[in-house]
Chains A and B, each alone.
Chain A
């Protein structure tokens, strides 16, 4: 075993890790960032046209987690034997420098103010009894106004394209009427609508809804961010989700932060370094550093540091906390402990419209973050009273470029044959003339949905796998079904020759074989109460105050919006308080 030293260690080279590493080196700290995957760069493996390869990209998962070494186990309920997630399908964590921030789509939201204080909002409007038994509804402990400067900063770093509605309280454009006021406009104008998004914009307007351009970290024109890093413009090639962007137009840590960070003499990036644990001193209230396995030499290396930042993917952060003893593990039977508690996901279902044969939807044209959405049924933007569920769902056309192998999986619709001549005909018809509308919604936290360590299966390094206990709950199924039913007027206004509404089905368990979304959250959530949160409002561990845990693990419940914008804002928020307060006087930033 060898030992090294740093001022701060950052685990994971995705958005959260890169933002923290940038901020901490700016503060003068010697930072070591550890990434278990390989280094990655646009010009090497993302280069045109080699990266335009669906088989290697989205199908064989070039940029994703190497499951052969470590995975999770999954079960639907307590009492069931969880089984290993052996093939990447339902969700796709990243691996390598850039993490999920390299293979993401680019949808870049701020959080809705009500979603940050959802428990308070629901109680204020509908009363305490509205919250179903077994639902752990919680506030984040941080408000939109507090986060606003950091949402703004993240958008400027990401080069986000969009159209504002309100800036400094004044209506300035045709943005999302439900969105809160901003301190500044988007750094870039919105992306052009692809055809289907434009059709949706008109039809949703006719249906009485309020369409807006999705905020996208896919640059609508060339851009230079505050760090000096440059992006090319998005040319709608459609290779965003699952790919590294050869146009340098999708924001990624690799393109937007690391070119500057890599040049900083205080910054060291170590790749192929699998972090085994956070090392604690004998009091278990202070981290002394981390120990990682050097995947090339197969040797353990310990780095000592005053500050440890966990910036890995959501469930990897939780896994590391459980393996290291940072925070008290959640016990579902006793409803005690916090690490693993409030594990959440998102609901997503796709509806589909077929347009007349002389109308070509050219679904291969697209961009990962672009499109047109409505928020009429998201967050607290509508009256939940008559429906009796908590949560909501934006609805959108987010045509991210449908590639042929993915299209072959979608096929020709629910009733079309899955193979043979009939399949081929329906597939071609669907590929050329159909369009997809998604309901991408919230998922609440429940007492019996959680993360813990699996008793049976181990990873390649001999450590117990993380176990997910997860299933769809009645509240979320009803939410999804209600919102999807509201798409019907849009379908009619579209002039669809045929349409299918995609909904969660009651009694049908969570299916790990079908891709839904990689927006996993919670498990080490932020909050004001150490009995119901693992980290405080600054994302600092309650129990080990020199450990900060940055990521969607902090979300007490899954919101309707995509998580990356919120993760980035929380990262800048946490970094700001580390820099301005913690470093001057290390210790708990919140006393209870």
Chain B
């Protein structure tokens, strides 16, 4: 039921650039709507145009950790595709290069004081710093306890380590707990599996197909009162990509 997605177009998608990449660069900008801003789009697109993804933020070692850890959090199995197939790490890497990744959406003014967990996050670290410190701490923990970096451990050990991060009071340095790092990673992993593919994850809409989520069609006028059966139509992205 798929339709053509990547037909090159004369306008406005520049040559050699897929619509999906084009949308990734544009989605949500006011410029999307006015012809006048067209010159700026092209610059934005030029930065996004690489067909094979090159990490912007994570180092190769960090990338290895993330590929291994996210695949444990969201494994390929009989239910559906895993984090790797869905491009979750690429998604997280892109997110590090957004206002969110830099902590721009959080109140990051001091002083920073410890408090009970129910009063929320109180560390001075933006997501990108949580990852940098957290991955280093996690790999250090793995070497100390299991003699190898996380990515080189066998799967049962990886699961054991992640469970410890989630539940035990382990510190990665002075202030960052394993728990905060784990929750950050878990949250972003699920976002990468289930957000619109224009953000770089949920590759080929695999996360949505697994759930049975129709995506950006966003119209159920004729389905709201069809009670009981599964909704039959496939998923569609904001970019027009379908599955």
Contacts and interface: CB of A to CB of B under 8 A. Distances in A.
A and B touch in the complex (CB under 8 A): yes
Interface of A: 43-45, 47-50, 52-56, 59-62, 66-68, 70-71, 74-76, 81-89, 192-195, 198, 233, 235-239, 246, 358-360, 362, 364-365, 403-405, 407-409, 418-421, 424-425, 427-428, 431-432, 456-458, 460, 509-513
A458 B110 CA distance: 9
Nearest to A71: B107
Interface stretch (B48-56, B74-82, B134-142): B74-82
B100 A83 contact: no
Contact of B228 (A84, A359, A403, A421): A359
Nearest to B26: A50
Given A62-B28, A83-B113, A83-B122, 5 more contacts: A85-B107, A87-B107, A237-B219, A420-B75, A431-B213
A234 B166 CA distance: 42
Interface of B: 27-28, 30, 32-33, 72-75, 77, 79-80, 98, 100, 103-109, 111, 113, 115-122, 159, 162, 166, 186-187, 189-191, 193-196, 198-199, 207-208, 210-221, 223-225, 227-231, 238
A76 B116 CA distance: 10
Given A360-B228, A404-B211, A44 B186 contact: no
**Secondary structure of the A contact surface, majority rule:** loop
Contact of B211 (A70, A233, A428): A428
A205 to B, nearest CB: 16
Nearest to B33: A44
Contacts of A365: 220, 223-224, 231
B190 A408 contact: yes
A194 B224 CA distance: 5
A56 B28 contact: yes
Closest 5 CB pairs of A and B: A404-B194, A237-B218, A408-B190, A55-B195, A235-B221
Contact of A362 (B107, B109, B118, B223): B223
A50 B32 contact: yes
B191 A59 contact: yes
A198 B227 contact: yes
A52 B213 contact: no
Given A239-B218, A431-B211, A458-B109, A512 B119 contact: yes
Given A409-B190, A431-B212, A84 B118 contact: no
A71 B106 CA distance: 9
A236 B220 contact: yes
Nearest to A431: B211
Nearest to A233: B221
30 contacts: A50-B27, A52-B218, A53-B27, A60-B98, A68-B106, A76-B118, A76-B119, A81-B115, A83-B119, A83-B122, A86-B120, A86-B121, A87-B105, A87-B120, A195-B228, A233-B221, A236-B223, A358-B228, A364-B213, A404-B193, A404-B194, A404-B211, A408-B190, A409-B187, A421-B77, A424-B210, A428-B210, A431-B213, A432-B211, A512-B119
A420 B33 CA distance: 41
A506 to B, nearest CB: 15
Given A49-B218, A237-B219, A404-B208, A419 B73 contact: yes
Contacts of A88: 105
B75 A424 contact: yes
B211 A419 contact: no
A456 B111 CA distance: 8
Contacts of B119: 74-76, 82-83, 512
B108 A53 contact: no
Contact of B80 (A60, A364, A424): A424
Contact of A67 (B106, B118, B231): B106
Contacts of B221: 233, 235-236
Residue with the highest number of chain A CB atoms closer than 10 Å, among B115, B120, B216: B120
Residue with the highest number of chain A CB atoms closer than 10 Å, among B98, B208, B218: B218
B219 to A, nearest CB: 5
B224 A236 contact: yes
Contact of A360 (B75, B105, B113, B229): B229
Contact of B193 (A75, A87, A408, A457): A408
A61 B196 contact: no
Given A81-B115, A84-B107, A364 B122 contact: no
Nearest to A459: B109
Contacts of B210: 424, 428
Residue with the highest number of chain A CB atoms closer than 10 Å, among B32, B117, B211: B211
Contacts of B231: 360, 362, 364-365
A89 B120 contact: yes
A50 B199 CA distance: 12
Contact of A53 (B28, B30, B32, B107): B28
Given A195-B228, A424-B74, A509-B116, A54 B220 contact: no
A81 B114 CA distance: 10
A405 B194 contact: yes
A67 B28 contact: no
A68 B108 contact: yes
Contact of B118 (A68, A403, A510): A510
Given A50-B27, A53-B27, A420-B72, A404 B118 contact: no
Nearest to B122: A83
Given A44-B33, A60-B100, A512-B119, A67 B194 contact: no
Contacts of A55: 191, 195-196, 199
Nearest to A55: B195
A52 to B, nearest CB: 4
A223 to B, nearest CB: 16
Nearest to A198: B227
A407 B211 contact: yes
A50 B22 CA distance: 13
A87 B229 contact: no
A75 B186 CA distance: 27
A420 B166 CA distance: 13
A288 to B, nearest CB: 31
Contacts of B217: 49
Nearest to B240: A49
A403 B103 CA distance: 24
A193 B120 CA distance: 37
Nearest to B239: A49
Residue with the highest number of chain A CB atoms closer than 10 Å, among B32, B186, B191, B214: B191
Contact of B216 (A52, A236, A409): A52
B122 A84 contact: yes
A278 B121 CA distance: 33
A340 to B, nearest CB: 19
Contacts of A47: 33
